[in-house]
Amino acid sequence: MKKEIKLQQDILALVKKARTDRTNKDYVSIGKITKFQADLFEKKLGINVKGYERVITAEGIRHALKHANINDPDFLAISLIVENPDVIGLGKKADTIVYRKDFDKFYFYVECIQKRNQRLAIQTLYKRKKPPKRT
């Protein structure tokens, strides 16, 4: 529990730094890709990410903040999105993975596969309203 709270504090501190310092290149590690996730990616997406680390970068935060509806606490949802996505697939751009998670809105999280550094890093985060339910 303390580790999770520390991670949340680190993420929010990085968001604050990213907002105030446009040159900041810091990142926060969410952790290593689990064997389960690596096997899922290999089977479902055809990519090998064994041993990769998942990170949130200041650059990715700044990109996500360009979407008017993203707020600081939204970045805390990233762990939930990647651990239990409702939909996962390859992105339109090369070396990207797109996750969708349905909360009160649809959250879309895009990660960039950094082969050289063996990292999955935030590219952007955005959310959309759910369409009205059909009757």
State residue 67's pLDDT score.
86
Over residues 55-110, the pLDDT tens digits come to 999 999 999 999 878 999 999 999 999 999 999 999 998 899 999 999 988 999 99
69-72 — which CB contacts under 8 Å span 24+ positions?
69/126, 69/127, 70/125, 70/126, 70/127, 72/12, 72/15, 72/16
State residue 110's pLDDT score.
96
- The larger pLDDT score, comparing residue 94 to residue 120, is at 120
Over residues 13-38, the pLDDT tens digits come to 999 999 999 999 999 999 999 999 99
Annotated domain spans of the chain: 2-128
Residue 49 has pLDDT above 80, yes or no: yes
Nearest partner of 123 among 80, 90, 101, judged by Cα = 90
State residue 135's pLDDT score.
62
State residue 74's pLDDT score.
95
